């Protein structure tokens, strides 16, 4: 076999096994010879064709598309190609690894990406499940929230499930459909199963498992917090909707535009709950941190109030409110913290950040991702801080 061909085939093998850095180095090494012979601008015909074939094998992040929680699209569930093998993550003392895999459960198959920080070998780390908004994907969401960099800094594993276009044409999580609002059904069951899969295959502290999301992802994060308090210790809801906020596409748009119907105490009249016998063994209320921009034209800011109200129902709490300005001095915010009346020194049960002038976007996010507001307070860092204050309660 020609030496050049052998090197390119080696690069392809490395790519398929997830070793992208090594694959890139192999391609560069393979091209070194042909480039010297052919000059700076072109390689040999053989080298050029093989390079094109190798590049096709490399994963390419899709370009960010349009807004989260836009049109909610099709509900049809079509099976994808199953691949339930654990992610190809090896112990590392260097930089973290961001790898692709997928999970198959009774409700279907979803791809995901997993970030494992370097330098924490042997430690049981917290896990954050990050649910993207409509039209987004794990790469876009990771770039916009900067969550991987913070996870490397603070020692978190981060799971990014990917919604399948076959399940929703705009890649929205189907938070507005009753079959996807209940424990043991649809996407909540699939996402909880994927989370448990990571707990079984990686060194994760089961008492420090959290979920956060933006827009449709925020709405689904609130559902997971309500339906799986035995899995998730706390949740972050950014620009989302309270659980049970809709029961079809029409009611989804209505609640997004105006918030829940007046007089429902933050809970929608469409709320769907499982019988007690089918719910989690410990029906606790999961602590929530909520971010919402008061200039959000896609999901009305009243929905942020509703998410908090739904979480605080029947809890005797007292609130403390403060105001501040983001580190960039461009956005002011109001922060309200709720604690139980009888446990004033205990961790909070809910925290709500209203970011003044912020649109439908992740507060403090990076411009590298879609739907971010770099001028706002850092939602990612504040969520991680809140999560660390709230390990799962017995």
Residue 116's beta-bridge partner residues? 97
φ, ψ at 92 (rounded to 5°) = -145, 140
DSSP code of residue 329:
S
Are the C-beta atoms of residues 304 and 294 closer than 8 Å to each other?
no
| Residues 320-336: b if buried by 16+ CB within 10 A, e if exposed | eeeeeebeeeebbbebb
Are the C-beta atoms of residues 310 and 242 closer than 8 Å to each other?
yes
Contacts of 161 (CB under 8 A, 6+ apart): 103, 110, 111, 112, 129, 131, 138, 191, 194
215 is annotated as an active-site residue:
yes
Cα separation, 256 vs 246, in Å, equals: 9
Q: Where are the beta strands (DSSP E) in 182-262?
A: 204-214, 234-238
Pairing of strands 350-355, 362-363: unpaired
Are the C-beta atoms of residues 214 and 160 closer than 8 Å to each other?
no
Give me the sign of the Cα torsion angle 29, 35, 41, 46.
Answer: negative
Residue 104's beta-bridge partner residues? 109
Q: Give the orientation angle of helix 45-57 with respect to helix 20-38, to 10 degrees.
A: 160
For 222, the token pair is: 């609130």
Catalytic hit among 215, 239, 348, 370: 215
For 359, the token pair is: 């649109």
CA nearest to 266, candidates 288, 298, 297, 234: 288
- Angle at CA 261, nearest 5°, toward 258 and 266? 95
Cα separation, 219 vs 240, in Å, equals: 5
The alpha carbon of residue 219 and the mean position of all alpha carbons in its chain are separated, in whole angstroms, by 11
Q: Cite the active site residues.
A: 215
């Amino acid at each position: 076999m020609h030496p050049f061909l052998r090197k390119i085939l080696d690069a392809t093998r490395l790519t398929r096994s997830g070793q992208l850095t090594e694959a890139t180095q192999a391609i560069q090494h393979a091209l070194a010879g042909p480039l010297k012979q052919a000059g700076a601008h072109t390689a040999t015909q053989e080298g050029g064709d093989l390079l094109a074939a190798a590049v096709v094998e490399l994963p390419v992040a899709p370009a960010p598309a349009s807004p989260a929680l836009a049109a909610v699209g099709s509900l049809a569930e079509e099976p994808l190609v199953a691949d339930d093998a654990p992610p190809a993550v090896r112990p590392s003392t260097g930089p973290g690894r961001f790898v692709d895999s997928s999970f198959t459960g009774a409700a279907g198959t979803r791809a995901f990406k997993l970030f494992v920080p370097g330098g924490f070998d042997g430690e049981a780390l917290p896990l954050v499940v990050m649910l993207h908004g409509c039209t987004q994907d794990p790469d876009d969401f990771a770039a916009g929230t900067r969550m991987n960099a913070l996870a490397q800094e603070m020692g978190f594993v981060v799971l990014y499930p990917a919604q399948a276009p076959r399940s929703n044409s705009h890649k929205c999580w189907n938070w507005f459909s009753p079959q996807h609002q209940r424990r043991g059904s649809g996407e909540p069951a699939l996402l909880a199963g994927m989370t448990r899969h990571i707990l079984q295959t990686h060194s994760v502290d089961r008492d420090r498992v959290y979920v956060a999301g933006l827009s449709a992802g925020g709405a689904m994060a609130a559902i997971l917090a309500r339906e799986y308090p035995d899995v998730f210790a706390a949740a972050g809801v950014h620009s989302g909707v309270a659980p049970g906020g809709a029961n079809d596409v029409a009611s989804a748009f209505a609640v997004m535009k105006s918030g829940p119907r007046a007089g429902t105490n933050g809970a929608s009249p469409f709320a769907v709950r499982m019988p007690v016998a089918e719910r989690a063994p410990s029906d606790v209320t999961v602590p929530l941190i909520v971010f919402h921009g008061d200039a959000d034209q896609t999901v009305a800011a009243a929905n942020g109030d509703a998410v908090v109200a739904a979480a605080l129902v029947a809890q005797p709490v007292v609130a403390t409110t403060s105001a501040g300005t983001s580190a960039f001095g461009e956005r002011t915010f109001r922060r309200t913290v709720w604690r139980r009346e009888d446990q004033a020194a205990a961790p909070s049960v809910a925290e709500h950040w209203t970011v003044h002038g912020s649109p439908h976007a992740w507060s403090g996010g990076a411009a590298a991702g879609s739907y971010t507001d770099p001028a706002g307070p850092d939602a990612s860092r504040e969520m991680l801080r809140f999560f660390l204050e709230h390990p799962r309660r017995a």
